[in-house]
């Protein structure tokens, strides 16, 4: 995970029960780091600590004291049943003001480095050329806006206190038991549900495998050149939506049912059922140039897309085999 780098002596990972935080905490501890995880729910491990709710009034000083690095993987990703204005306010409360408070408390007790997991949504929702770190931010959704404002707050805290800030913006993260859209896509492919995405062959989307993201975050916790830098994360290979689905089916060893529905019809159907944003994500391009991390940190993704997808679907494939055996008995 760290290569020839010396790992930090101690680290705190927020959001340790989440998809990324859980795996990062395990990887840090496996690498010999005295890492603890901040959990909102009941703590059932000797290296877990109970965390306050993220917000401007939380007190983190006791939890972050004595840590060399704080890795902030917690945040709010979904809000339901509020008005658009309320959604942005709620995201800001947790993702912006909560992050600011955590950083200020970390700096106050001498934390050396603060690593923030942001979102590629800060760059924008789609592109015609790969995003880079030098692009002007263009967040379109409330979640991405709150993440961008958190980044701005962190740079200010770092400048004022001297605490090193590192920000990583990942695109969609896939891996075993992935939540969200990728998890739903895996489930649909596994069940053989016909998907109207056979015509989505000309877009290009960059994803990042969980193992690849964890590896980059590990490097960013300790590499001297990562201090006060922003990095975009991504796999080496960008693929179209149709190609991704076919790769998933191959990894699961199942037949795929892709229906070539014309894109305008897909977009129209999406607008009718209130899923236009989701259709745009599936059909549009979002490519990421992560060459800065390769150049500055000598980092490269340890897994290719094919190997990453194979790992991601192991649990799904296993459950599908079990259900097939059960139905045959």
pLDDT at 329: 36
Give pLDDT tens digits for 35-48.
999 988 766 677 88
Rounded to whole angstroms, the Cα distance separating 76 from 87 reads 11
pLDDT the model gives residue 71: 98
253 vs 316, more confident? 253
Residue among 54, 8, 55, 46 nearest 27 (CA) = 8
pLDDT at 2: 82
Mean pLDDT of 140-168: 97
pTM of the model: 0.91
Indicate whether 212 pLDDT > 80. yes
Q: In degrees to the nearest 10, what's the CA dihedral of 171, 175, 178, 184?
A: 90
Least-confidence region, from 78-92, 168-182, 214-228: 78-92
Please report which confidence band the pLDDT of residue 318 belongs to, taking 50, 70 and 90 as the band edges.
very low
pLDDT > 70? residue 83: no
Average pLDDT over residues 23-46: 87
What is the distance between the alpha carbons of residues 65 and 111, in angstroms, rounded to a whole number? 7
The pLDDT of residue 265 is 80
Mind listing the pLDDT tens digit for each residue in 150-159? 999 999 999 9
The string of pLDDT tens digits covering residues 289-308 is 999 999 999 999 999 999 99
- Rounded to 5 degrees, what angle do the CA atoms 265, 271, 276 make? 95
pLDDT score for 203: 93
Distance (Å, whole) CA 21 – CA 18? 5
Task: Answer with the residue of higher pLDDT: 185 or 206.
Answer: 206
Q: Which of 93, 143, 148, 174 is labelled catalytic? A: 143
Give the whole-number percent of the chain exceeding pLDDT 70. Answer: 91
> Cα dihedral sign for 126, 128, 130, 131?
negative
Q: Strand pairing partners for 48?
A: 37
The per-residue pLDDT for 324 is 41
Domains of the chain: residue spans and CATH = 10-169 (3.40.50.720)
At residue 316, the pLDDT reads: 66
Q: Is 118 helix (H, G, I), strand (E, B) or coil?
A: coil
Most confident of 14-18, 84-88, 105-109: 105-109
What pLDDT does residue 84 have? 53
219 has a pLDDT exceeding 50 = yes
**Mean of the per-residue pLDDT values for the chain?**
89
Q: Is the distance from CB of 72 to CB of 15 less than 8 angstroms?
A: yes
For residue 118, give both structure tokens.
């942001």
Tell me the C-alpha to C-alpha distance, in Å, between residue 295 and each of 53, 62, 214, 216, 298. 37, 37, 18, 13, 5
Q: What is the pLDDT of residue 232?
A: 98
Which pLDDT band, with edges at 50, 70 and 90, does 86 fall under?
confident
Q: What is the rounded CA–CA span in Å between residue 98 and residue 103?
A: 9
Give the pLDDT mean for 234-252.
Answer: 94
179 or 212: whose pLDDT is higher?
212
Q: Look at 70-79, 142-151, 165-174, 273-282 and tell me which has the smallest mean pLDDT.
A: 273-282
Q: What does the block give as tokens for 6?
A: 């010396």
pLDDT, tens digit, 9 for 90 and up, residues 266-290: 777 767 766 667 777 788 899 999 9
Q: Clarify whether 93 is annotated catalytic.
A: no
Parallel, antiparallel, or unpaired for β 69-72 and 48-50?
A: unpaired
């Amino acid at each position: 995970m760290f290569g020839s780098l010396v790992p930090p002596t101690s680290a705190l990972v927020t959001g340790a029960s989440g998809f990324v935080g859980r795996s990062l905490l395990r990887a840090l501890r496996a690498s010999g780091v005295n890492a603890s995880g901040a959990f909102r729910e009941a703590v059932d491990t000797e290296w877990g600590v109970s965390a306050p709710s993220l917000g401007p009034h939380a007190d983190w000083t006791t939890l972050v004291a004595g840590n060399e690095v704080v890795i902030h993987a917690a945040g709010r990703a979904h809000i339901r049943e509020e008005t658009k204005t309320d959604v942005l306010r709620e995201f800001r409360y947790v993702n912006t003001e909560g992050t600011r408070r955590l950083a200020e408390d970390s700096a106050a007790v001498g934390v050396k480095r603060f690593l923030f997991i942001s979102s590629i949504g800060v760059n924008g929702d789609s592109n015609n050329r790969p995003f880079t770190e030098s692009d002007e931010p263009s967040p379109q959704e409330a979640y991405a806006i709150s993440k961008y404002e958190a980044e701005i707050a962190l740079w200010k805290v770092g400048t004022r206190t001297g605490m090193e800030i590192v920000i990583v913006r990942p695109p969609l993260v896939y891996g075993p038991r992935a939540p969200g859209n990728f998890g739903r896509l895996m489930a649909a492919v596994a069940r053989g549900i016909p998907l109207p995405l056979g015509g989505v062959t000309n877009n290009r989307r960059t994803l990042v495998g969980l193992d690849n993201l964890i590896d980059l975050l590990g490097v960013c916790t300790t590499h001297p050149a990562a201090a006060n830098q922003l990095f975009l994360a991504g796999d080496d290979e960008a693929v179209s939506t149709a190609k991704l689905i076919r790769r998933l089916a191959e990894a699961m060893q199942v037949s795929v049912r892709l229906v070539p529905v014309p894109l305008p019809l897909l977009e129209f159907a999406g607008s009718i059922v209130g899923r236009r944003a989701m259709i745009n994500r599936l059909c549009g391009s979002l490519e990421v140039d992560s060459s800065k991390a390769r150049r500055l940190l000598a980092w490269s993704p340890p897994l290719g897309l094919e190997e990453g997808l194979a790992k991601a679907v192991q649990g799904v494939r296993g459950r599908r085999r079990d259900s097939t055996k059960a139905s045959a008995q």
